[in-house]
Structure 1
Amino acid sequence: MHLFPAVVLTITLVSSCTSGGLSTVLSGANRPMVNARKVEDHLRPRHLHASLKKTFKRGPNRHFAVRGPVYRTLPTFRKFYVKPLDKQPSLSRRDIELKHANNSMYYGTIGIGTPAQDFNVIFHTGHSLMWIPSSHHIPDNEEFRERHRHYNNDSSSTYNSKGDTFSITYDAGLVSGKVGQDSVTVAGLTVKNQMFGEAERYLDLFANTDIDGMVGLGFRDKSSSKETNLLDNMASRRILQAPVFSLYFKKEEATGGCEARLTLGGVNPDFYTGEFIFANLTEPDEWRFEIDRIQLLNGADTLWESDCQMEVDSNSAMIEGPHLDVHLLNTRLGATRMAYPGPYNVYEFDCSEVDSLPEVEFLIRGKKLSLSSKDYVVKEEASGTTTCYSGFFGRKRLTESSEAPWILGQVFLRGFYTHFDKANHRIGFAKTRD
């Protein structure tokens, strides 16, 4: 059975790594999808994708064209992986501790300017643009002014104005402003003359959080701006050994919280076990790949085969798919559909049966990624009662593109340490270390 048509839209309801927050989101008084869209929908830009095209000389009068990310073909990027991932020099990678806001959005701290001005930013896999609010256009909202930090280019001795503008459209509205250039420091590594957006027009996308802006870790042509993004600059200038990064999410049973790390420039063996299973990306500008099939019970119950498109999104809390396919999966797992007013179908498990639920297996090139019930079941305690929700959410919309993939969010990422490899245009998964 092929996947139903789907629209790429992430879910930010509540982190599957935390407890105690889903009841607030699901309560009728709070209209969860209204709140979720306010915070989440803006995270996925609505731009048409266009393959990069660059012409290189080959001999005196001959040229050839390259489509897709340019670094796939350049020797300076291809040579990075002559050594195994975990054998790279330790100085070639840096770990960043990520904190969470609203139980769903994970952010870290960067510095911009000289002296450095600190900002809390989401490291987002969905686009490449970096932007922070400008101090020259602070909204009248007093709470916003007090809660969020704003970049003041007059206070930086290394600032340069590029004279260009940027804009990026989210479902929640437009973010736009001018393009600046300054030193950017992340995890103790400094990139000089890094271009970024100084946002002058924007909604308060991060209401009731300490998040100020975004740093894109996606592909260059995902953004309406033409500047080279932070990750690619760090690699091309040899600050990092390669334009790669990895994400670690691990549930902490004792606290109900989630430990999260972003590793720039490689992988950290402390966060995973076993070997990586790699899949080649199927799109030139997205972290999208294809799996062989989804199955239960060690292959005894196959749900879908062939043409299963998946996309990893670090800022989505759940696993989202076409509603009929998700309904089939949850029904086979024994979950019951709940009455739910939003644009997603939500399912509930009998908590007494959670420990006996089968693993959900994603097959890539014949190799299995097995997601256990401790990963895909979201437990919440409220008023002495425990509710067990399925981490598989179904989209109700029927007017979706046939090419839209499943969205693999934090429910998936907490089961697998994920390596985003721009240099080789692939994505890899290894079992998260207990």
Structure 2
Amino acid sequence: MILQYSNDSIYHIYSIPVSQVRRPLRNSKASVHRTPGKFKIKVVSQSVQSLPKQSSRSPRPLWGPRPSKPLPQRTQRIREGSVKLTNYKDKIYHLPIEIGTPGQKFNMAISTSYPAMWVKSLNRSSSHPYRGYNNTSSRTYIENGKTFGSYFEANQGYWSQDDVTVAGLTVKNQVFGEAVLTDDTFKNTDIDGVFGLVPPGSSADEGPTVFENMISQDRLPIPAFSLYLNRYNSSDRDSMLIFGKRDRDYCIGWFIFAPLTSPRSWQFEVDGVEVSSRMKVVSDEPGRAELDTSTPLIHGPMEEVRMLHHYLGGKPHEKLLGRYVFDCSKVDSLPDVEFIVSGQSLPLSSRDYVIKEDQDGHVTCFSAISGMYWRKDTTPNWILGTAFMRAYYTYFDKENSRVGFATARH
């Protein structure tokens, strides 16, 4: 897993499989080859100025009417199995955990695409004074004896085993990577590692994740979790990760569910992408989308994203391939972008898909929808990052092999 800082100040955590190796990966190499997806474009010859800002269909079909007056603010309750997340500038969400006995406290970036957990070791080589996990101080530490590593030499160390507590729930003998060599992925933040939340059974050599051990050790009423993500510097209630249930306090109306298309990831079918029901990006076969908290953006096939911004009025960024910018004076009049899931519309307003950044008094309006070249038949057509999930309270239901979406209560 690599966190990258680019010129537009956007963090990306690229999820990279970890594996058990018997020697450091100092000489390892990896490359990625991608080809465009199979999507076709169907468009109505119409400019963005003539498109309605909102969809012609109901913005939230099947979810019941919107309330006629603002909903009363409810007192936010934090129950066992729920944990507050910290929003780092709409780029990373992290949670507090404890490792060992007595518990050592750390902040971990959540990732719904990473198949393990790793934390910085107190014994790691670094010129920066980060805190780290000290296995000699824990009565419940068990030496694992296997080497921990990842591609691109991002992190190296060894697998360790200890009790882990999160959201008031303790799992015994959790295996995790203890990183001795790191590239200071989370430099200038309070984040100490990554907390993987892939579906149970997705990890291989790494062993069960914390979520999987919660299930096997009967710590959850049902094998599921849900996410409410707030907006940075807003009046929204705190972001929450809730294990074992859905909480109606964080959403409005009914859920739209989509079955998983892969047992190893939170991937599901997308029927298409539309701009206010006028411009459609459709395919001969349903597309694939994966929910990934590791990225703040929404990544899609390069050509489809280009056409999408053509009708939104976005211009290609001069230096960043696949990125687009908007005229900030026109952002409030931009139409909705709709993802069609299970035959229903999941619209994003311009507030959801436009990122405003102020650099030395100059405000740039970036699109959160980015184009990428995908590796053929091995990756989803769309990766829906936190820009998408802030709009929807998201339910990750392993028991029924599905994901669910309801309008987030902001």
Q: Provide TM-score, normalisation by structure 1.
A: 0.73
Instruction: Render the CA deviation track for 1:239-266: whole Å, top value 9, x for unaligned.
Output: 11122111112225757x9952211222
Q: Distance in 1 between matches of 2:110 and 2:242?
A: 11
- Relative distance call for 1:133 and 1:91 in structure 2 (3 A) is closer
Between the aligned partners of 1:351 and 1:174, the Cα distance in structure 2 is: 37
Structure 1 counterpart of 2:150: 169
Query: Match for residue 260 of structure 1?
Result: 239
User: Does residue 300 in structure 1 map to residue 278 in structure 2?
Assistant: yes
How much has 1:199 moved relative to structure 2? 2.6
Structure 2 alignment gaps of length 5 or more: 20-76
* 1:391 corresponding residue in structure 2: 368
C-alpha change, 1:93 and 1:360, in structure 2 (3 Å) is: farther
Matched ranges for 1:392-407 at <5 A:
392-395=369-372, 397=373, 400-405=375-380, 406-407=382-383
Q: Distance in 2 between matches of 1:157 and 1:412?
A: 42
Deviation, 1:421, is: 1.3
Backbone CA RMSD of aligned residues: 2.8
Partner residue, 2:288 = 309
Letter paired with 2:310:
T
State the one-letter code of the partner of 2:262: E
Given the alignment of the two structures, is residue 138 of structure 1 paired with residue 132 of structure 2, yes or no? no
User: How is 1:173-252 mapped onto 2 (pairs within 5 angstroms)?
Assistant: 173-219=153-199, 222-251=202-231
The verdict on how the C-alpha distance between 1:392 and 1:12 changes in structure 2, with shifts beyond 3 A counting, is farther
Q: Which amino acid aligns with 1:149?
A: R
* Conserved? CA contact 1:251–1:259, under 8 Å: no
Partner residue, 2:17 = 45
CA gap of 1:226–1:317, structure 2 versus 1, over 3 A, is closer
* 1:294 match: secondary structure: strand
> What SS is found at the alignment partner of 1:430?
strand
Aligned residues: 351
The 8 Å contact of residues 333 and 357 in structure 1, kept in 2 or not, is answered as yes
Deviations 1:93-152 (CA, angstroms, capped at 9, x unpaired): 6222222446512211111111111111112111231222333x320x331xx1x22222
CA contact (8 A) 2:301 2:371 kept: yes
Query: Residues 320, 161 of structure 1: CA spacing in aligned structure 2 closer, same or farther, 3 A cutoff?
Result: same
Native 8 Å contact 2:119 2:192 kept in 1? yes
Q: 1:372 aligns with which of 346, 349, 366?
A: 349
1:125 aligns with 2:107: no
Distance 2:162 2:223 in 1: 20
Aligned partners of 2:98 and 2:136: how far apart in 1?
Answer: 15
Which of 115, 137, 144 is matched with 1:155 structurally? 137
Identity fraction in percent: 38
Distance, in Å, in 2 between the alignment partners of 1:99 and 1:277 is 27
**By how many angstroms is 1:356 displaced?**
2.0
Provide structure 1 residue ranges, at least 5 long, that are not aligned to the other structure. 1-8, 14-23, 27-31, 48-89
Residues 1:11 and 1:166: Cα distance change in structure 2 (over 3 Å): closer
Q: Which has the higher helix share?
A: 1
Aligned-partner Cα distance in 1 for 2:360–2:110: 35
CA contact (8 A) 2:272 2:339 kept: yes
